[in-house]
Copies of this chain bind each other. A is one copy, B any other.
């Protein structure tokens, strides 16, 4: 049984949209990734319409089982936060109109789920997304990688919420376990070979 999740990293200049699937073993794979753009010198209402139509077209094309959107905080970058909030509202409505379950995740939740660290930087998130999806290169721009990270985060959290706790030792996501194992191997002195 696969679960298809569409993640949205809301933005007015660049809005990342990433679609992934996870299989029964929680292994994620890439379905598609997009960046919707609007011109910075266009009127605000035109920009919002362009971004909203772009999100809706991708939702209708890829028919996700669930949607995940980055939670925007009022304390974020004051210059851009209003546009980001407006785009998140348009994405939330798009989900509601189609009856698609939707959730908000904070950047910390996404980083923790995908890299094991809530304060990971953009480069770490991008590298981990590429590794998890078996991609040759990190998806560009960062908004696209973030949208994929959101979708992966949601798939794992959703899955974890339904699975018995025992299937996920210490409540770790697969990436967190991989990170923990990688750290262990680094910290263990290699004695000869």
Contacts and interface: CB of A to CB of B under 8 A. Distances in A.
Interface of A is mostly: helix
A35 interface: no
Contacts of A92: 44-45, 48, 86
Contacts of A102: 45
A36 B87 CA distance: 21
A89 interface: yes
Interface stretch (A70-78, A106-114, A160-168): A70-78
Interface string A72-105: 1111001001100111111011011100001010
A114 B85 CA distance: 29
A32 interface: no
A150 B43 CA distance: 20
25 contacts: A43-B96, A44-B92, A44-B104, A45-B92, A45-B93, A45-B102, A48-B89, A48-B96, A49-B93, A49-B97, A52-B93, A72-B82, A73-B82, A74-B74, A74-B81, A74-B82, A75-B78, A85-B85, A86-B88, A86-B89, A86-B92, A87-B89, A89-B89, A89-B90, A90-B90
Given A46-B96, A49-B97, 4 more contacts: A45-B93, A48-B89, A74-B81, A90-B93
